[in-house]
Amino acid sequence: MRFSSLAPIFAALVLAGCSSTPSGSLTAGAGGGGSAAPAASASAATPTSSAGMGDSMCNADPIMNIVGKPINERGASDAQQRATAATLRLMRPGQVMTMEYNPRRLTIVVDEQNTVSSVRCG
């Protein structure tokens, strides 16, 4: 057998080995809201839990009035409580947002001036 006839088989085996993931090598963030945000601002996108709201479904309707207004960490925490959300994700410009849906999480997106540009559950 010639080497040229074995090359495609060898290449397929190498690629198959690269595509598999060892079990246990993937980890999930607490609350399902793992963030890939830059290290300098990772804490802003880290989900936070509120005592007594572990099983609460998020409802953003009561806090829609904060869109267009400035917000700080305390205001975001108050919004989380009013939305009855178990977790909070405060997203700043340039942060990477995961796209998984979590019905118990409130996501508040702010602009460069910390003005709320959107509010949603998920």
Lowest mean pLDDT among 7-11, 30-34, 95-99, 114-118: 30-34
* Average pLDDT of the residues in 60-65: 96
Which domains are delineated in the chain? 29-121 (3.30.10.10)
pLDDT at 13 over 60: no
> What pLDDT is attached to residue 90?
95
Residue with tokens 């400035």: 70
Query: Which stretch of 8-22, 63-77, 108-122 has the lowest confidence by average pLDDT?
Result: 8-22
Beta bridge partners of 87: 49, 105
C-alpha distances in angstroms, 2 versus 8, 10, 15? Answer: 12, 13, 21
> What was the pLDDT predicted at 81?
97
With a threshold of 0.85, does the pTM exceed it? no
Q: Mean pLDDT highest for which of 7-21, 31-45, 85-99? A: 85-99
